[in-house]
Amino acid sequence: MGRKGVSMKDEIIKKLLDVKWNLVIMAAFCFLFAVYMYVTPVEGGLGMFMITPHNGLAGLLEMLPWIGIFLGAATFIASFVSKSTWVLGWTEPVLGALMFVAGFWELFFPYDIAVFSLTYAFVGIFLAFYVMFIALEMDRKGVGHWFMTLVLAAAIWAVSFFNMMNFAGEGASVALSCLELFLAGWGFVYGALVLSGVAPQKGSCPFRRAKKAKAVA
């Protein structure tokens, strides 16, 4: 009975270590922040929830540095925790480090990010690149429907482009920004489902222990 319990515990730990936690974190952020942004009134005020920023879109812009720092640190650490393949090798932790540095830089060396549509359009472009890299990793490993994931990345690019143009004012920009996050969230969910448990490239990182993962056809 004791051995069976230990074996089950080891199996659970193994499955948890196989999860692509960085993609899970990105997916959770995209969905939750899309909802949070949607219920934040453009003109400011309390909105539907007390936790929405009182200054509206300016408050959402002020959150970006902290979001970059948190997501960057969390996804960077998660990349090393997971025993599964990295997204295009070292590209994955580099993206996490890039988010952290960008957030830190903006926090202590601020520049003008007053234009909501332009700022969140660039956020969408970054997310589109991330989803595109996931698609390329799927193709490299021969798993999942990489082309559909690439189409999803292209859709995020298109939405980000329209957001950058700011055709219909702040209200429409909020809706487009939410759509960017929502589409990216599904890309991260699919990436996490497909890439979790896929063996990393041999010798891709000297700091990661070799693992036994599901075979890739």
Q: Residue 131, CB half-sphere, CA atoms under 13 Å: how many?
A: 32
Tell me, what DSSP letter sits at residue 208? S
Write out pLDDT tens, residues 107-137: 887 766 668 888 899 999 999 999 999 999 8
Residue-averaged pLDDT of the chain: 82
Concatenating the DSSP letter of every residue in 18-31 gives: HS-HHHHHHHHHHH
pLDDT of 165 strictly over 80: yes
Task: In whole angstroms, give the CA distance from residue 43 to residue 57.
Answer: 7
How much is the pTM? 0.84
* Mean pLDDT, range 50-65, rounded to an integer: 80
What is the dihedral sign for C-alpha 153, 159, 162, 166?
Answer: negative
Residue spans per domain, the chain: 20-195
Write out pLDDT tens, residues 179-214: 999 999 999 999 989 887 777 766 555 455 444 444
